[in-house]
Structure 1
Amino acid sequence: MSFNFLNQLPSPEEIKKEYPLPEKLAQIKKERDAAIRKVLTGEDNRFLVIIGPCSADSEEPVCDYVSRLTKIAEDVKDRLIIIPRVYTNKPRTTGEGYKGIATQPDPEKAPDMVAGLIAMRKLHIRTIEESGLTPADEMLYPENWSYIDDLLSYVAIGARSVEDQQHRLVVSGFDVASGMKNPTSGDFSVMLNSVYAAQHPHHFVYRGYEVETPGNDLTHVVLRGAVSKHGNSTQNYHYEDIMRLIEMYNERDLKNPAAIVDANHSNSNKKYFEQIRIVKEVMHNRQLSPEIHKMIKGVMIESYIEPGNQKIGEHIYGKSITDPCLGWEDSARLIYDIAEMNK
């Protein structure tokens, strides 16, 4: 056999028992989940801002960053709902490189999945406790969902996972907002097929059990740009892209049509400072078109304390070790600008 079995992982029940979510924080999550639902169903005109580091690589600066969002969230609460990105899993195109705190709690040491599962749960609980804001994460490994299903208010399915059957089926069992990114090819049909699959009931195998799911009516799309056959980044946040998306949504029997625009990745060609311009264009187009205003429910922004990124081992506090991020000062100004433009 080619597998070397290293450790028996603790069950989600065991991890949750050791690191429980206090009832006070569970109530905060319940209230925020309900508010986010109302935005996605059109009952609430507020706008979602999903913002934070490309990857949550270290507990102290991540919690520092998220706590800084608390005052801003209070200032703009009548117009925005801020959801901090606390992404504990990092997809890698080639399989090489840092895979996130859930796999590698210390980026400079070897992977440790048991310590990673504990670090992932502790980080999410601490961010809620210190900020009052419930987080978003990316579901890179569907089997990890059960370790944090009581902590997240938003789940993203990445461009490389959106075509995977298991990801689609597992999302159908979620009761929180779930964004399906367009694949790296940019194909809207693939993305919308994923939404359709996740919104419907399913019967499948999950974590060694035969399970049934009811479907998740809060599943929606996330536009993150694409990569052409020549390897060039192409954008899909422009006016004509959104109008095409609306047309394709209207051709399908989907609940709660909604889209989030990811301002980084291929939309910015990973030029992090472009996120400011992209977000403002999205907000401007919402003002121009009632249809776009109704469809675009939020934006994703990659942001950390320090702008740009660094190599693992450089130890600049609050600076990304994966994709480059917008710095704190620019991010704070941008959030207030978004609030001003959400009229």
Structure 2
Amino acid sequence: MGMKINAELPLPANLKAEYPLPKELAEIKKKRDAEIREIFEGKSDKFVVIVGPCSADNEDSVCDYVNRLAKVNEKVSDRLMIIPRIYTNKPRTTGEGYKGMLHQPDPDQAPNLLEGIIAIRRMHIRAIKETGLTSADEMLYPENRSYLDDILSYEAIGARSVENQQHRLTASGMDIPVGMKNPTSGDFSVMMNSVIAAQNSHNFIYRGMDVTTEGNDLAHVILRGGVDKYGTCIPNYHYEDLVRLVDVYAKKDLKNPAAIVDANHSNSNKQFKEQIRIVSEILHSRRYNDDVKKMVKGVMIESYIEEGNQKICDHMTYGKSITDPCLGWEDTEKLIYKIAEEC
């Protein structure tokens, strides 16, 4: 085989024992998970805001960002459920480029997966300890989620992974909300089939074990826009798209119909400032149509301390994305207050 074994990684149970989630933080997560569940079950009218960097590339700046979110959260927690977006795995379309802190705990250094696993667990725990906010991450590698499954309150499955069988079946064994993004083509049927799969019980191989899952009743969709065969971005956050999704859900026998709208990616054509306008339009659509309001549980926003993005170099700007461009903190803070007023 054309493959070299670099190291044998620790079992998740062993890593958790070495870097445990303290009991008091586990209680915070339990309470937050219950609140989030009530939102997706329709028992709470709080609006979900999943917000944070495109990729979490530095522990200090990410935790600085989450601390800022926590201060805003104190003022809006009666209306919003803020879930920090701490994405530690970065999907790459061609396989080239920075793949996230899991691969490179230091973007300037060579990949080190053992150090990366430790770094992302440590960062997630620090964020909870300092702010009381449990976070969201992307399930890019299904078997790796076992290193964080006691910490996360939300997980997303990306546009390039949503058709993958292992992602769908693993999602069926999770006890937190999992968002299935529409694929890059924008196809609704692929996204809905993923939700159906995740909500049902399955028997399959997971980390060398024969497992049976219970099904995840909080599996739902994430609208992130699509791309046509010519590479043109086709958004799917408009009112007509949301009404269509309401109709699609009505024809399916699914629990807790729900959607999160990703304001960036192909919905904004990666024009990060457009996220402000897009979120405003989503809020307007919810006010206009009760069915849309009931279905759209929240938004996803890419945001960091400094707006835009930068290349990896020897004079990096603190708190600025090294992957996709993000909304800056000042605009983000204003947008969160606006959401709280209008949701």
TM range (shorter): over 0.9
Residues 1:315 and 2:316 are matched in the alignment: yes
Per-residue CA shift, 1:79-123, capped at 9, x if unaligned?
000000000000000000000001111111111010010001001
Matching residue of 1:175: 175
Residues 1:131 and 2:131 are matched in the alignment: yes
Q: Which amino acid aligns with 1:217?
A: D
1-side partners of 2:285 and 2:248: how far apart? 18
Task: Write the mapping of 1:155-194 to structure 2, written as runs, cut at 5 A.
Answer: 155-194=155-194
Matching residue of 1:267: 267
2-side partners of 1:284 and 1:115: how far apart? 45
Q: Which amino acid aligns with 2:339?
A: I
Matching residue of 1:146: 146
Matched residue of 1:337: which SS?
helix
Matched residue of 1:307: which SS?
strand
2-side partners of 1:44 and 1:72: how far apart? 20
Matching residue of 2:85: 85
1-side partners of 2:23 and 2:201: how far apart? 30
Per-residue CA shift, 1:124-154, capped at 9, x if unaligned?
0001011110000000000111100000000
2-side partners of 1:209 and 1:293: how far apart? 41
Matching residue of 1:112: 112
2-side partners of 1:33 and 1:106: how far apart? 31
2-side partners of 1:57 and 1:234: how far apart? 29
Deviation at 1:338, TM superposition (A): 0.1
Deviation at 1:225, TM superposition (A): 0.4
Matched residue of 1:332: which SS?
helix
Matched residue of 1:254: which SS?
coil
Matched residue of 1:308: which SS?
strand
What is the percent sequence identity of the aligned residues? Answer: 65
Matched residue of 1:300: which SS?
strand
Matched residue of 2:4: which SS?
coil
Equivalent residue pairs, number: 342
Task: Write the mapping of 1:1-343 to structure 2, written as runs, cut at 5 A.
Answer: 1-313=1-313, 314-342=315-343
Matched residue of 2:87: which SS?
coil
1-side partners of 2:227 and 2:57: how far apart? 26
Matched residue of 2:168: which SS?
helix
Matched residue of 1:216: which SS?
coil
Matched residue of 1:324: which SS?
coil
Q: Which amino acid aligns with 2:256?
A: N
Consecutive aligned runs of 4 or more in structure 1 exceeding 3 Å deviation: none
User: Which consecutive residues of structure 1, in runs of 5 or more, have no partner in the other structure?
Assistant: none
1-side partners of 2:330 and 2:339: how far apart? 14
Per-residue CA shift, 1:135-183, capped at 9, x if unaligned?
0000000011110000000000000000000000000000001000000
Matched residue of 2:26: which SS?
helix
Deviation at 1:3, TM superposition (A): 1.0
2-side partners of 1:227 and 1:107: how far apart? 29
Q: Which amino acid aligns with 1:102?
A: L
Q: Which amino acid aligns with 2:324?
A: D
2-side partners of 1:171 and 1:70: how far apart? 28
Q: Which amino acid aligns with 1:160?
A: R
Per-residue CA shift, 1:37-84, capped at 9, x if unaligned?
000110000000000000000100000000111111111011000000
CA RMSD of aligned residues (A): 0.5
Matched residue of 1:143: which SS?
helix
TM-score (norm. length: structure 1): 0.99
Q: Which amino acid aligns with 1:122?
A: R
2-side partners of 1:139 and 1:171: how far apart? 9
Per-residue CA shift, 1:193-239, capped at 9, x if unaligned?
00000000000000000001000000000000000111001100000
2-side partners of 1:311 and 1:96: how far apart? 14
User: Which consecutive residues of structure 2, in runs of 5 or more, have no partner in the other structure?
Assistant: none
Q: Which amino acid aligns with 2:217?
A: D
1-side partners of 2:94 and 2:277: how far apart? 30
Q: Which amino acid aligns with 1:328?
A: W
Deviation at 1:2, TM superposition (A): 1.2
TM-score (norm. length: structure 2): 0.99
Matched residue of 1:36: which SS?
helix
